[in-house]
């Protein structure tokens, strides 16, 4: 899985025997073996897991420290045959100080020691009574179990095969300060942060803790793995709940159940390549790079995962939480952007071609919203329905009813005769059903809209969506062109949800119209119908399922994933819907169409950006129009 950027990380909350490092070492060893069985590559324990965080003045006794070293030796021996990196919380003596440390081990070796920097000494915490801060260190080396080991708060553990897998460590309070060490860890290359913690439970604290973790993971664009002490710590005054969380760029991937008596293991696969790519594209992130005195330890992170432990949304552009709230926000962004443009143009009229399809319906509903915001009369919305050779009675009637129901100005212009004349003028056989036959109709419609806009002093509102732009499924200087585009960053899978949301919040008569529009097959209706007035030209039959294309587009542009990786995660995501052969077929279609269509995107009109993916050549996507893509397709053929 490392070739795709995935590694499995885990947390262990051991069933603690307070003040008994040997018994704790035996239990931790058992849990490391359990983690290894579940193919975990890196696993951590809570802070001071070998002794217990609440050992208090026992930390002043040599016996506890010696027993801790003995416990570490037991873990090293028990796990030396396992290809797993373990991070153990324990006290370590260095010079004349006792440090609260994370000891990183693998295959019987100690790879490095990271001491805690910020020691809480307020309210219920008294760490400065027993420990010194890493700030007080005067050496980078310590002797531990007859080994000379690197000790520093500034260690980056880098995988030998790929530096995208780089991790670093901070301990408990280090996270809660104004400038956590993980800020610098990440700026210097760590994509994964491990936090060994002992955070007691108070009413409301858990939500605060989770918010803090989410924010730190998001602002550092990192995976953040947090592991805290369990309930077998002393309860003289405090209770520890054993809270464990795995975050990735601000998103909670997995959490455990708190207040468990038994030892427990939590694990999840994280995507380091996604984090690495996100940082590269964020110029603010890289410009704030601070090169402090970091030590590099090269490590071998195992690659034993056979089945990926994470899922992907089938429809990544569609909101999954607070769905209606987010759909409402999207419509507000679209309509408010149009309002701003109309105000600049002195409240000009809007001209739109309506076909009875979902794209033009969404654009129409956005205009209605904009006019409502401006307290404008809907009569200043000029809707033009332009039936042609392939227009079905169903879409024709829906277009008429939609316009009449909202009280706009409706014009009907049949384009058939004009197209036949044009075919004759250029010498195209009227029985030819090639691409020219189709594009003549699209350009005729656009010409009509532009000329009407000139007549009424208005602007043409585009109806094309993000998916069509990505695939080049639009006629150059036809439906490709408008004077302002409100759907340009709305993919086809999201268009459907937005129109459905509008339908659900409409009165009954409008609801029925929108329901029928949503049930109509997606088609440009440029080829003649059959004898029963059925649409025979169905878009997805020729270019492929929009569900797949939107999935490909999202992971290509949002996270810069390779097509090999996109194919891999698409297989996992759509395994119940499409065969691997179908997924590969349509991915190859996507690659070719996406790169060949750049010349169209280089000439698109202004349009508002709504989500994280846009194809505007002025802001988000700058590509040459002559990209070679055959090698990309050839690589897929090898899979």
3-class SS string, 440-496:
HHHHHHHHHHHHHHHHHCEEEEECCCHHHHHHCCCCCCCCCCCCEECCCCCCHHHHH
Residues contacting 319, CB < 8 A, separation 6+: 326, 327, 497
Number of Cβ within a 10 Å radius of residue 426: 9
Lookup result for tokens 């036809």: 478
Give the residue ranges of the chain where pLDDT is below 50. none
E strand map for 116-191? 141-144, 147-150, 155-159, 166-171
Residue 82: C-alpha distances to residues 42, 47, 76, 329 (Å): 11, 23, 10, 51
27 is catalytic: no
300-333, pLDDT tens digit by residue?
999 999 999 999 999 999 998 899 999 999 999 9
3-class DSSP assignment, residue 320: coil
DSSP state for residue 146 in the 8-state scheme: T
- Asked if 552 and 562 touch (Cβ cutoff 8 Å), the reply is no
What single string gives the DSSP state of each residue in 226-273? EEE--TTS--SS--B---EEEEETTEEEEE--SS-SS-EEEEEEEEHH
Residue 156 tokens read as: 């980056």
> How far apart (Å, rounded) are the C-alpha atoms in residues 383 and 365?
12
Closest C-alpha to 351, from 445, 482, 449? 449
Q: What values do phi and psi take at 427, rounded to 5?
A: 85, 30
230: left (phi over 0), alpha (psi -120 to 50) or beta: beta
DSSP state for residue 151 in the 8-state scheme: B
> How far apart (Å, rounded) are the C-alpha atoms in residues 594 and 604?
15
- So what's the pLDDT on residue 529? 75
- So what's the pLDDT on residue 385? 97
> How far apart (Å, rounded) are the C-alpha atoms in residues 384 and 447?
12
Residue 274 tokens read as: 């996604």
Q: What values do phi and psi take at 484, rounded to 5?
A: -160, 135
Task: Tell me the Cα Rg of the chain.
Answer: 31
Residue 397 tokens read as: 């009637």
Task: Set out the domains of the chain in order of their start, with CATH numbers.
Answer: 2-299 (3.60.110.10), 323-637 (3.40.50.620)
- So what's the pLDDT on residue 508? 86
Lookup result for tokens 């009407």: 452
Of 2, 27, 39, 47, the catalytic one is 47
Q: What is the dihedral of CA 157, 158, 159, 163, to 10 degrees?
A: 150
DSSP state for residue 161 in the 8-state scheme: S
Residue 594 tokens read as: 């996406």
- So what's the pLDDT on residue 100? 98
Residue 47: C-alpha distances to residues 101, 102, 230 (Å): 8, 8, 10
DSSP state for residue 321 in the 8-state scheme: S
In sequence order, the β-bridge partners of residue 206 are none
> How far apart (Å, rounded) are the C-alpha atoms in residues 464 and 164?
38
> How far apart (Å, rounded) are the C-alpha atoms in residues 120 and 463?
58
- Asked if 328 and 471 touch (Cβ cutoff 8 Å), the reply is no
244: left (phi over 0), alpha (psi -120 to 50) or beta: beta
Residue 489 tokens read as: 């960053």
Closest C-alpha to 16, from 375, 208, 260? 260
Of 2, 116, 529, 588, the catalytic one is 116
> How far apart (Å, rounded) are the C-alpha atoms in residues 52 and 13?
11
350 is catalytic: no
- So what's the pLDDT on residue 291? 67
- Asked if 87 and 40 touch (Cβ cutoff 8 Å), the reply is no
- So what's the pLDDT on residue 328? 97
Residue 34: C-alpha distances to residues 50, 95, 164, 219, 412 (Å): 18, 36, 26, 33, 71
Residues contacting 502, CB < 8 A, separation 6+: 331, 362, 365, 514
- Asked if 246 and 31 touch (Cβ cutoff 8 Å), the reply is no
Closest C-alpha to 51, from 75, 16, 78, 96? 16
Total H helices, total E strands in the chain: 21, 20
Q: What values do phi and psi take at 84, rounded to 5?
A: -150, 145
3-class DSSP assignment, residue 71: helix
Of 94, 172, 244, 350, the catalytic one is 172
In sequence order, the β-bridge partners of residue 511 are none
Closest C-alpha to 268, from 634, 10, 536, 2? 10
In sequence order, the β-bridge partners of residue 194 are 169, 225
pTM: 0.93
3-class DSSP assignment, residue 89: strand
- So what's the pLDDT on residue 289? 62
Residue 24 tokens read as: 């704790």
Number of Cβ within a 10 Å radius of residue 632: 17
Q: What values do phi and psi take at 597, rounded to 5?
A: -90, 5
> How far apart (Å, rounded) are the C-alpha atoms in residues 259 and 255?
13
47 is catalytic: yes
Residue 509 tokens read as: 């008569």
């Amino acid at each position: 899985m490392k070739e795709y950027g995935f590694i499995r990380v885990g947390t262990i909350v051991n069933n603690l025997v307070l003040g008994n490092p040997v018994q704790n070492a035996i239990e931790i060893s058992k849990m490391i073996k359990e983690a290894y069985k579940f193919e975990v590559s890196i696993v951590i324990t809570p802070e001071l897991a070998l002794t217990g965080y609440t050992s208090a003045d026992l930390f002043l006794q040599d016996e506890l420290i010696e027993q801790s070293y003995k416990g570490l030796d037991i873990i090293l021996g028990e796990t030396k045959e396992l290809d797993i990196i373990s991070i153990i919380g324990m006290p370590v003596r260095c010079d004349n100080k006792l440090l609260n440390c994370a000891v990183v081990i693998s295959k019987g070796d100690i790879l490095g020691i990271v001491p805690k920097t910020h020691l809480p000494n307020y309210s219920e915490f008294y760490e400065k009574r027993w420990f010194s801060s890493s700030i007080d260190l005067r050496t980078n080396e310590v002797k531990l179990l007859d080994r000379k080991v690197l000790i520093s708060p500034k260690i980056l553990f880098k995988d030998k095969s790929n530096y995208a897998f780089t991790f670093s460590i901070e301990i408990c309070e280090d996270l809660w300060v104004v400038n956590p060490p993980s800020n610098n860890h990440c700026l210097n290359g760590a994509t994964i942060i491990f936090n060994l913690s002992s955070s007691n439970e108070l009413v409301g604290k858990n939500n605060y803790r989770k918010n803090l973790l989410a924010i730190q993971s998001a602002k550092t664009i990192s995976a953040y793995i947090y592991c805290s002490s369990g309930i077998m710590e002393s309860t003289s005054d405090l209770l520890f709940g054993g809270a464990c969380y795995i975050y990735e760029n601000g998103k909670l991937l997995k959490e455990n159940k708190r207040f468990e008596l038994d030892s427990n293991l939590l694990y999840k696969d994280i995507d380091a390549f996604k984090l690495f790519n996100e940082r590269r594209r964020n110029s603010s992130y890289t410009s704030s790079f601070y090169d402090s005195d970091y030590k590099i330890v090269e490590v071998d992170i195992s690659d034993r995962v056979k089945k990926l432990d994470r899922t992907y949304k089938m429809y990544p552009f569609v909101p999954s939480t607070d769905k209606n709230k987010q759909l409402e926000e999207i419509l507000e962004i679209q309509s408010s952007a149009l309002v701003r443009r109309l105000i600049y143009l002195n409240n000009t009229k809007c001209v739109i071609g309506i076909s009875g399809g979902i794209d033009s319906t969404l654009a129409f509903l956005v205009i209605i919203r904009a006019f409502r915001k401006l307290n404008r009369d809907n009569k200043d919305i000029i809707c033009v329905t332009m039936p042609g050779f392939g227009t079905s009675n169903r879409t024709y009637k829906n277009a008429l009813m939609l316009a009449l129901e909202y009280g706009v100005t409706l014009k009907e212009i049949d384009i058939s005769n004009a197209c036949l004349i044009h075919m004759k003028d250029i010498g195209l056989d009227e029985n030819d059903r090639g691409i020219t036959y189709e594009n003549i109709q699209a350009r005729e419609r656009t010409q009509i809209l532009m000329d009407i806009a000139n007549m009424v002093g208005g602007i043409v509102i585009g109806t094309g969506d993000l998916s069509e732009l990505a695939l080049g499924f639009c006629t150059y200087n036809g439906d490709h062109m408008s004077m302002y585009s409100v759907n340009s960053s709305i993919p086809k899978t999201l268009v459907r949800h937005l129109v459905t949301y509008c339908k659900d919040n409409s009165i009954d008569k409008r609801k029925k119209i929108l329901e029928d529009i949503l049930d109509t097959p997606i088609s440009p209706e440029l080829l003649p119908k059959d004898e029963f007035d059925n649409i025979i030209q169905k878009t997805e039959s020729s270019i492929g399922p929009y569900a797949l294309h939107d999935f490909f587009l999202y992971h290509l542009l949002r996270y810069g994933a390779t097509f090999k990786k996109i194919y891999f995660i698409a297989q996992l995501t759509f395994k119940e819907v499409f065969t691997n052969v179908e997924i590969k077929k349509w991915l190859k279609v996507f690659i070719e169409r996406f790169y060949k269509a750049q010349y169209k995107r280089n000439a698109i009109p202004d349009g508002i950006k709504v989500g994280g993916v846009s194809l505007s050549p002025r802001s988000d996507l700058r590509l040459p129009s002559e990209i070679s893509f055959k090698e990309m397709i050839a690589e897929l053929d090898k899979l």
